[in-house]
């Protein structure tokens, strides 16, 4: 038995009951409960969330990926900048990445204007941030390992000359 097995099952479906997980891992239900409690207490499991297909809702949520470039000084590190940005409720994810930019930030708002104003008025003025590039999400095909959409096959007509 490993914590990893329990974690993988929770990642697959956080709604599995402890009885379900016990059956799938050949553990006792009390053992599963203890493993989950230990993972939560240690901060390994930080929460449980639903995967939402925003395209299926009437009220639209605007999502954007924002690339951030920063310039560090002697007193400020990546962690300091991340701590400042992560406090904003519009920021849904924030990652330090390798490549052409430093941070990848996922942002949500009720409109393109709201997201744009957030980036221009709250993010861009942070002294260490030297550049922002905002990419609005048009459609999501897969989120957190789950394929979205109606599952229909490609229904375009074939064409051959």
**What pLDDT was estimated at residue 45?**
87
pLDDT at 109 exceeding the cut of 90: yes
DSSP H helical segments within the chain, as ranges? 3-12, 18-25, 29-41, 78-86, 112-118
Cβ proximity of 74 and 128 under 8 Å: no
What's the CA gap between 35 and 43, in Å, rounded? 12
What's the CA gap between 124 and 112, in Å, rounded? 16
Class of domain 1-42: mainly alpha
- List where CATH 1.10.10.10 sits in the chain: 1-42
pLDDT single digits (tens) 129-153: 999 999 999 888 888 777 887 655 5
CATH, domain 54-138, list 3.30.70.920, 3.30.565.10, 1.20.1560.10, 3.40.50.2300: 3.30.70.920
What's the CA gap between 93 and 4, in Å, rounded? 23
Which structure tokens are listed for 83? Answer: 């701590």
Q: What is the DSSP string of 102-149?
A: SEEEEEEESSHHHHHHHIIIIITTSTTEEEEEEEE----SEETTEE-S
- List where CATH 3.30.70.920 sits in the chain: 54-138
Q: What is the DSSP string of 116-127?
A: HHHIIIIITTST
pLDDT single digits (tens) 24-82: 998 889 999 999 999 888 888 888 877 777 667 777 789 999 999 999 989 999 999 99
């Amino acid at each position: 038995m490993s914590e990893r097995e329990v974690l993988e099952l929770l990642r697959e479906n956080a709604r599995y009951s402890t009885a379900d997980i016990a059956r799938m891992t050949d553990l006792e239900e009390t053992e599963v409960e203890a493993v989950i409690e230990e993972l939560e207490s240690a901060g390994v499991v930080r929460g449980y969330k639903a995967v939402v297909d925003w395209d299926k809702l009437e009220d639209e949520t605007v999502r954007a990926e924002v690339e951030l470039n920063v310039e560090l000084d002697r007193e400020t590190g990546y962690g300091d900048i991340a701590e400042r940005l992560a406090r904003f409720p519009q920021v849904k994810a924030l990652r330090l990445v390798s490549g052409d930019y430093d941070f990848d930030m996922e942002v949500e708002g009720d409109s393109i204007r709201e997201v744009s104003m957030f980036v221009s008025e709250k993010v861009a003025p942070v002294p260490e941030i030297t550049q922002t590039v905002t990419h609005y999400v048009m459609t999501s095909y897969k989120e957190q390992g789950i394929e979205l959409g109606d599952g229909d096959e490609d229904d375009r007509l074939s064409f051959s000359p």
